[in-house]
Chain A
């Protein structure tokens, strides 16, 4: 029997598997950020251990840092400044390369990894962050780990892992105009549930996936964790190789040719069998919007918020009722037309140059109403520079959006970008949990073009009407 892509990468990285113990998995690249690493470095210090492979470790700062343009470090909140200083000290003491906010390469860890060419097909990649699944878009086995495990990888470049099961997600057909990768993944999670992928690694396959560019593939793999799967994979192809070629850490010369020859073998064999499978017809998808407090609670923009009594499972009912109470939405109301107070375009899901171009095309020549606050937060300094070179910052500013520096920002509201109590946020990020974007904030997740449309209309809008 053939192997799935996941099994190929897994098998190539298991260095030991003792009777009755989980496998020891070798890690090719370890990404580190300021929030989940300090306690791991502390463990190394306590035990007198070095970082085993600083050359396979890459650090940046993204979660806690302010993104206001011109925010100078001296004015930062103390705790963010302490985390950043701690990371600098740790990277200096343990020889780990750091992409500092002072330099030109800093950004959200899942945006800069691919941008630098650190992310490559067939690799195992981890980070103390659940959206490490993003890197699966390149055919890398990439997943989030806790801080204890960050320490394990720093010290040994290895992790103890149980092999996950495999789940094929086939997306056939072609996407309609105005329907994007974000809508594919929100539709998958709405169908399969926020816990539906627990214990599995997703592999996204099919015509609609093959047709996507790398930014879109990253959007999909990014939210695998929102579907419960720790990792999501897309087999590498010409689109992948084209993206990687020439990037800082990409192989060069002969090494490049050898790498590509190997990468071409990284696909699921014809006769391989998945543990589970799900098929979606891309041509039937519409732009999606979430109405609830987990990412599985989403509907097409043309539809209504579900009714509690239409659900059979008591737990689902309770969950929906709680969500509606928190969100201040009525069951059965159309989601289109729901007013928004804040619009956030950013996060590791949707802050790449392609996302910003698409959003800018909607914003261009339109105007955000005065009562709406709209933010555009590029995923990295490189994205920011590119966007500025293309004049996107001006388009956004003229339309009334605020243009920011690179970071996580209002995706998790750790810095000072917080949505206020009860505010509706049209957001391109990945989590609509209670209070995620600020105490009492109410997130409506959607694609960048849907968010831009919501911004200029001040309400949830079917972007297809204004494309």
Chain B
């Protein structure tokens, strides 16, 4: 897994609530037996017209947002299916963090397992970030995982309309360490072999 420490990037504003995993990656991209090729399917219903040409109205296709590595979206991002393909699609397209007031549980977990940082910020803050990024597309957002903060480096503190101009976010300390060091759960679980065997032996009596 690619480690995550800090990131400064412009952001893509997706002012939509309840973005479900079928929107992030529709079922027809799920026929693969590898992880590759998911980036092309990202937001496919919105991104492409039915004839397969890019839909110019969708933010992902707008030139001012090209290269953004941060996605800012409405609440309940990632509801629906457990498909990890949704996270693969986002990371393969180039996103490294998603900011939303609320995430679906499975999507949130899947993100952490792929080095995609899901950041929960209050509804109001996300609303403000969306306003800002829509108005001034080249606004950069800085994410610092060690200090668990989101800031706006192009603004003096206060000018973004927030008293601090910087917001802190919560993350489970264990998950934070895994992200910082690029570790996955498998090594940790394999180390528990003794306890697993003991549990199984006890259960079979």
Contact = CB atoms under 8 A, between A and B. Distances in A.
B189 A156 contact: yes
Interface in A428-460: 431, 433-436, 439-440
Given A194-B79, A195-B75, A36 B84 contact: yes
B34 interface: yes
Nearest to A37: B33
Contact of B82 (A83, A128, A199, A315): A128
A431 B20 CA distance: 10
A38 B83 CA distance: 12
Given A155-B189, A195-B79, A434-B45, A318 B17 contact: yes
Given A160-B188, A318-B15, A412-B27, A15 B80 contact: no
Contacts of A195: 18, 75-76, 79, 102, 104
B87 interface: yes
Contacts of A293: 18
B74 A315 contact: yes
Contacts, number: 184
Interface in B186-200: 186, 188-190, 192-193, 195-196, 198-200
B113 A199 contact: no
Contact of B20 (A20, A294, A315): A294
A138 interface: no
Interface in A218-251: 225, 228, 230
B23 A434 contact: yes
A151 to B, nearest CB: 7
B45 A439 contact: yes
A130 B45 contact: no
B16 interface: yes
Interface string B55-80: 00000000000000000001110011
Contacts of B33: 38-39, 42, 82-83, 86
Contacts of A100: none
B22 A434 contact: yes
B20 A433 contact: yes
Interface residues of A, number: 68
A362 to B, nearest CB: 29
A433 B80 CA distance: 9
B184 interface: yes
Interface in A168-206: 194-195, 198-199
Nearest to B126: A315
A80 interface: yes
Interface in B4-42: 15-18, 20, 22-23, 26-28, 30-35
Which of B34, B35, B81, B174: most chain A CB closer than 10 A? Answer: B81
Contacts of B148: none
Contacts of B196: 15, 26, 52, 156-158
Nearest to B30: A35
Interface string B155-196: 000000000000000001110000000001110111011011
Interface stretch (A140-148, A260-268, A269-277, A328-336): A140-148
B105 interface: yes
Contact of B123 (A86, A315, A435): A315
A15 B195 contact: yes
Interface string A10-21: 000001100011
28 contacts: A26-B203, A35-B83, A36-B30, A42-B33, A47-B186, A52-B196, A79-B32, A128-B84, A130-B81, A130-B106, A145-B109, A146-B82, A148-B84, A148-B184, A149-B185, A152-B186, A158-B196, A159-B189, A194-B76, A195-B104, A412-B27, A412-B81, A414-B31, A421-B50, A431-B20, A431-B81, A433-B23, A435-B26
Interface of B: 15-18, 20, 22-23, 26-28, 30-35, 45, 50, 74-76, 79-85, 87, 102-106, 109-110, 113-114, 123, 172-174, 184-186, 188-190, 192-193, 195-196, 198-200, 203
Given A147-B110, A318-B15, 16 more contacts: A15-B199, A20-B173, A24-B192, A38-B34, A39-B33, A79-B31, A148-B184, A155-B190, A157-B196, A160-B188, A194-B79, A198-B104, A199-B105, A294-B18, A318-B16, A412-B27
Interface of A: 15-16, 20-22, 24, 26, 35-36, 38-39, 42-43, 47, 49, 52, 63-64, 77, 79-80, 82-83, 86, 128-130, 132, 144-149, 151-152, 155-160, 162, 194-195, 198-199, 225, 228, 230, 293-294, 315-316, 318-319, 322, 412-414, 421, 431, 433-436, 439-440
